[in-house]
Amino acid sequence: MAHGTYATDMERMGWFLDARFGMFIHWGLYAIPARGEWVRSQERLSVEDYRPYFEAFNPTRYQPREWAKAAKAAGQKYAVMTAKHHDGFCLFDSALTDYKATNTPAGRDLIREYVEAFRAEGLKVGLYYSLLDWHHPDYPAYGDPHHPMRDNPAFRDRKHDFSRYVAYLHGQVRELLTNYGRIDIMWFDFSYGEMAGEAWRATDLVRMVRELQPHIIIDNRLGGNIRSAHPEPYAGDFASPEQIIPPEGVTNELGQPIPWEACITLNHHWGYCAADNDYKTPKQVVRALVECVSKGGNLLLNVGPNAKGEIPQPSLEILSEVGRWMRANGESIYGCGRADLPKPEWGRYTQKGNRLYAHVFDRPIGPVNFRGLAGKVKRARLLADGSELRLERPWNATEYADDAFVTLPGAGLPDEIDTVIELELVE
Ligand code: H57
């Protein structure tokens, strides 16, 4: 592994930095209305309005082993699934609430099945847990710009005891990290305004999390500042840019790289949305993954299974095409990170030790130019089939003495998604 000097604990982070590509799964009662996981907030639905979905939840085609196989075939190495989203509904069998999958027609613990299925396919397993809870009677609606009942004065001003909610949150996290064996990632979502840090009793919470699962890694949404030179104990292990890839990766205020993971949807929703068929192309997804890795980050790519428990067909097709590319080119992703070179005009670089990977997105007119690499490249080959590419200075490029060149065969690109040239650097 060649990830340079990180500010955080590399013992725990190593597998995550090597893995680079994971599956995010947003699944819950909101799959039934099929208008995204924020439906309660957006449409101001009360607990009563939302009850029919609890009574109807019956995912007869839930086969997490199939999800795990799709993730694995796409080249993903880990997954993170919503144990509880903002609506408060628990896919797991919590002793602390009745608002859980076991009390729906599903009648069983769906998180247990997820954990077992993904583990059986050799994938690392993460759990998403929402800090917000629009179901819990002690979760305040006042001052919360997101709460479904924010416009209802009677609800807003009702008596509640937030400390009871925080105890519930701690208790559920304890259940999740006690009852399901090894959990690799704890993904909290999210803090806002005053609802941050010690409002969640975050120092205690993180102490408990690390006690129960010493190897676990935690995202940065409990409200600390992961970029500080002296981060809070709850600042987390990796940054979590959402629906954006940071222009220059993520560093702390000392300039050291920080592990990060961009979470990105395939269409425009996390939870299943029947009307949203505006999907990214496999090419966009592969290039997003390459962009993340070229900047030292991971990509957590979302799927939103439907009410029956199926990953939507368009998502499966994208995953399968990304998998085709990954099988040929995965070496340029796993264990790779940023190269200490400027971004080339034709695409991006990733690097692992003395292997520099040139991701050619746009075939240049004439040869591919590796700026500043004259005399620094021992060999070049097409990563996908191992075929040699000759490193020679073309007759029309004699004046670029500092650069190395290869000429690609044919006219277009061997792989229009991303043609990877592996450059073996002189040690
Ligand atoms: O689970 C997914 C994703 C991983 N995080 C959740 C989503 O459901 C969304 C988080 N969105 C956060 C967000 C965006 C705007 C504000 C919060 C004042 C009024 C509204 C904003 C502030 Fe909020």
Indicate the DSSP class of residue 249.
B
Residue that finishes a domain, picked among 332, 355, 389: 332
List of residues 6+ apart from 361 with CB closer than 8 A: 287, 346, 347, 348, 418
Nearest CA to ligand 1 atom 5: 189
pLDDT digits (tens, 9 = 90+) for 305-339: 999 999 999 999 999 999 999 999 999 999 999 99
* Pocket perturbation via mutation, ligand 1, pick of 131, 242, 243, 267 by most ligand atoms within 8 A of CB: 242
Residue that finishes a domain, picked among 274, 306, 332: 332
pLDDT at 6 exceeding the cut of 60: no
pLDDT digits (tens, 9 = 90+) for 235-266: 999 999 999 999 999 999 999 999 999 999 99
Bridge partners (DSSP) of residue 350 are 357
258 and 395: one domain? no
pLDDT at 199 exceeding the cut of 70: yes
Residue 315 CA to ligand 1 center (angstroms) comes to 22
pLDDT at 4 exceeding the cut of 60: no
The side-by-side arrangement of strands in the sheet containing 260-264 is 217-218, 185-189, 124-130, 78-84, 21-25, 297-303, 260-264
pLDDT at 203 exceeding the cut of 80: yes
Range of the domain at 163: 10-332
How far lies 175's CA from each of 85, 168, 170, in Å? 16, 10, 9
In a domain, 102, yes or no: yes
261 and 179: one domain? yes
Q: What CATH number does the domain containing 351 carry?
A: 2.60.40.1180
Q: What percent of the chain has pLDDT over 90?
A: 93
Residue 145 CA to ligand 1 center (angstroms) comes to 10
109 and 208: one domain? yes
In a domain, 4, yes or no: no
pLDDT digits (tens, 9 = 90+) for 180-189: 999 999 999 9
How confident is the model over 197-208, as a mean pLDDT? 98
Confidence band, pLDDT 50/70/90 cuts, at residue 409? confident
273 and 408: one domain? no
pLDDT at 11 exceeding the cut of 90: no
pLDDT at 2 exceeding the cut of 50: no
In a domain, 340, yes or no: no
104 and 152: one domain? yes
In a domain, 337, yes or no: no
Confidence band, pLDDT 50/70/90 cuts, at residue 5? low
pLDDT at 123 exceeding the cut of 70: yes
Helix, strand, or coil (residue 239): strand
pLDDT at 12 exceeding the cut of 50: yes
pLDDT digits (tens, 9 = 90+) for 141-160: 877 889 999 999 888 888 99
The residue written with tokens 């990214």 in the block is 280
In a domain, 40, yes or no: yes
161 and 289: one domain? yes
Q: How far apart are CA 403 and CA 158, in angstroms?
A: 70
What is residue 210's predicted lDDT score, i.e. its pLDDT? Answer: 98
What is residue 3's predicted lDDT score, i.e. its pLDDT? Answer: 55
395 and 322: one domain? no
Nearest CA to ligand 1 atom 22: 145
In a domain, 405, yes or no: yes
Q: Which atom of ligand 1 is nearest to the CA of 130?
A: 1
List of residues 6+ apart from 181 with CB closer than 8 A: 115, 119
Q: How far apart are CA 362 and CA 412, in angstroms?
A: 9
169 and 45: one domain? yes
Which tokens belong to 44?
Answer: 């101001």
370 and 414: one domain? yes
- Cα–Cα nearest to 132, from 9, 223, 15: 223
Residue 228 CA to ligand 1 center (angstroms) comes to 23
pLDDT digits (tens, 9 = 90+) for 70-105: 999 999 999 999 999 999 999 999 999 999 999 999
Query: Is 136 within 8 Å of 165 (Cβ atoms)?
Result: yes
How confident is the model over 102-111, as a mean pLDDT? 98
Nearest CA to ligand 1 atom 14: 146
308 and 391: one domain? no
Residue that finishes a domain, picked among 283, 305, 332: 332
In a domain, 148, yes or no: yes
322 and 392: one domain? no
How far lies 72's CA from each of 13, 323, 409, in Å? 20, 8, 32
Q: What CATH number does the domain containing 60 carry?
A: 3.20.20.80
Confidence band, pLDDT 50/70/90 cuts, at residue 51? very high
Rounded to the nearest 5 percent, the helix, strand and coil shares of the chain are: 30, 20, 50
- Range in 13-27, 122-136, 177-191, 394-408 with the lowest mean pLDDT: 394-408
In a domain, 95, yes or no: yes
* Total count of domains within the chain: 2
Question: Which residues surround ligand 1 with Cβ inside 6 Å?
Answer: 26, 37-38, 145-146, 189-190, 242, 263, 270
pLDDT at 9 exceeding the cut of 80: no
- Cα–Cα nearest to 324, from 423, 411, 418, 421: 418
394 and 251: one domain? no
pLDDT at 115 exceeding the cut of 80: yes
